[in-house]
Each structure stands twice: as structure tokens, then as C-alpha cells.
Structure 1
Amino acid sequence: MTPPADETRLFECVTCGGVGIGDNRPTCCGEPMAATETGDTAVSEPSLETLLKTVFDMSGTELDICLCVMEGGELTVAALAEQIGYDRSVVARHLNHLAAFGVVEKRRRIRPEGGHVYVYTPQPPEVVRERLREEFLSWVRLATAQLDDLQREKVEAIADAKTDERQWTVFQEQ
């Protein structure tokens, strides 16, 4: 089954095995990459919650906090904690994680009565989408490297085997 031309697809370089993701045909090693077929697969479509948890290590609580900032505009940790009923330390930790992703902006504001407070404002939806997309692609690159390392470790273990003893044991839950 071939996806529509404007749909994001996967591509693979036939020379080096590099992987590309996009809506047009990328090149690698001086040649156009080959589109991969993704018809029947053992992998199920992830939910948004699964995607955010797996790729971004974002919990349900953090998603709640993110959505509240997106809807509420500029908020402090104290105001957000009171609004959603979470402990301030939990809210602060999650807001700092979201700021590191670039999903919310963290700014220090000097208070008229002295001291300072951090305020968090949402980024525009298109910025959030792009930041999450960039982080996802980084995650894919790192995950692909892990798979390559796994394959390399197995090949090296086979090559280093000096006896006929079994090198791996398959463990199954009883």
C-alpha cells in the first residue's frame, strides 16, 4: 500500500542503510533514498500519550500541566499549582522539563515588592509542534543507533566465540 504523495513517509539509503523521514524523497550518498513499505506491520499506532511518554518522558501529570499553560497563558508555579491541585515542587519540575523542550518559555520577573518569580508562557502551537518534531527526530536517530549497536554487538560476539557453547540464553516468563 503506497501512502499519498504529501504524507510523511520513511526512506532508506540502499548504500549505507541511513533512514530518512519526510514528505518528499531525500537523498543520501549522492542518490535518492528508497521509500520503505509500511503496509502490514507488527507495530501498532501509538496513542499521543504513549508517544509523549516514550519519546519525551512526559507523564500524564506533565501533559496536564502543559495543557493548562497552553490554555492559561502566563502563569507562575504557585498559580498553576493552586489551579490544578498539584504540589508546587511537582509543577516546578514539570515546567522546567517543558521549558527545556521549548514548549513553554520561562522568564524571571522582578516583583515590585522585592524578589523575583518565574513566569511560564506557552509557545505558539506551530513552535510547539516543530520543537516536538525536532526532538522526535533526534530520538529516532538515537534509537536507530541503539539498534545498530545491538546488531554489531551480536555479530562481534559471534565472531569472538572460541567454543561451541551457546552465547545467548533466551529468558521467558513462566
Structure 2
Amino acid sequence: MSDQNSARSNDERDEVQYDPNSGRYDIYECTVSGCDNVVLVVGSDDPPMSCHDQLMERVMDVEMSVNSPDVRQVLLQAFGLPKAGLDICLCVIGEGPLSANEVAEQLGYDRSTVTRYLNKLVELGLLRRSELNREGGGVVKVYHSIDLERMRRETLIGFYAWAGEAAALIEEANLTKQDYLEKNPDQELPDVFWESFLDE
């Protein structure tokens, strides 16, 4: 896969802002005091989201902007795949069905590396494996893209799991910061405080 086909870097990607009128997705929040439940809805919201037996309200006033994601970054963050794994996944999705040898030849990767990641991608549910009979006899394992709807679901669930873990980490950091400042009201927060979260 050439550098021209690779994803744009974060700095090169446009910033986007949540647009509640786009229809692509919606963000809802609970209106009950003290509840911080926020959910992401992709597709139709039928029946409407609810929390504490009350309908949740669509978020309409978000002012923050984020970098526009690309599929490589989403797969990287949601499934923890390095560049080689992403290249292999996207190669099979675009060109499959392919054998491990064919993927290795197309990408210039070592066959053992390709086989390892192909097996991982099958385990994650992003690819499927089958056997084809060769014309000269014998069988060869080939890899295919899974059903697009299933891939969409697996990718969304994987990303939501990652986002949930990220939100939980932010919450833990905030609570720990608050606890530290309450116990040390006359001290600034040391840099080493944040380093403890980088190591986790």
C-alpha cells in the first residue's frame, strides 16, 4: 500500500463539530439532576432513548471540535492494531479473498507477520477464513471481508468499548485529581500525577 493511499495525519485532517441536524448520528443526555449518562445513537432512535424512566434529550449545544476520523484511526484505536495489522485488514477488505501468501506479496510483508495478523483479525471478527480447493490438488486458506453490516456492528461496538474505557479513565483521573487537591489545598498538581495514568 503506497504512502499516497495512507490516511492523512491528525494535523492534516479537518476539524469537525457535532451537527445535530446532520442525521448521521445523535448524542443524547439524561436530564435527571446528578446523572451524567450520555449515549451515542447511530441510525434510527425508535423508540427514543430513556434514562430514569424519562426520555433523554438530544445534545444541541456542543461547542468543541474534534479531528475528523478516518477508518485506519478508528480500527487502530478500537482494536489496538498496529500499522501492519491495519494494512493487512484493509488489503483483504479491498482485494479479497486472498491467501496469506498473496497478502504478503501485495504488501511486501513477511508471511509469518501476515499470518499472525490475519489470525488476529479473524479472532476479532473483522475477517473470515475459508478453504479453497486448488486446481492442481490440495487446499489453501483464504481470507475474506465479513458481511458489511456485521463489520459495521463489530467496529461500532469495538469503538464504543474503547470510548467507554477512555471516558472511565478520564473520570478516574478527575476524581483522583479532586481528591489530591482536597488533601493538598495549598499545592499545585505535580506533573508526576499525570504520569501515573500514562503508565496504566
Identity %: 27
Q: Which amino acid aligns with 1:86?
A: Y
Q: How far apart, CA to CA, are the structure 2 residues paired with 1:75 and 1:47?
A: 24
- 1:39, CA displacement in angstroms? 4.5
Give the TM-score normalised by structure 2.
0.68
User: Cα distance, 1:2 vs. partner?
Assistant: 5.8
Greater Cα shift, 94-103 or 35-44: 35-44
Instruction: Spell out, residue by residue over 1:63-87, the C-alpha distance to the aligned partner (whole angstroms, 9 max, x if none).
Output: 3322221233333222321233211
CA contact (8 A) 2:29 2:56 kept: yes
- What are the ranges of 5 or more consecutive residues in structure 1 without an aligned counterpart? none
- Distance between the aligned counterparts of 2:176 and 2:117, measured in 1? 36
Query: Letter of the aligned partner of 2:189 in structure 1?
Result: W
Match of 2:37 among 7, 12, 18: 18
Render the CA deviation track for 1:74-113: whole Å, top value 9, x for unaligned. Answer: 3322232123321112212321232232110135789966
Distance 1:74 1:158, change over 3 A: same
Counterpart check, 1:9 vs 2:30: no
Aligned residues: 167
Higher relative contact order (CA 8 A, sep 6+): 2
The verdict on how the C-alpha distance between 1:72 and 1:51 changes in structure 2, with shifts beyond 3 A counting, is closer
TM normalised by structure 1 equals: 0.76
**Alignment match of 1:143 (pick from 166, 174, 181):** 166
Relative to structure 1, the CA distance from residue 122 to residue 164 in structure 2 (aligned partners, 3 Å threshold; closer, same or farther) is closer
Match of 1:30 in 2: 53
- Superposed CA RMSD in Å reads 3.0
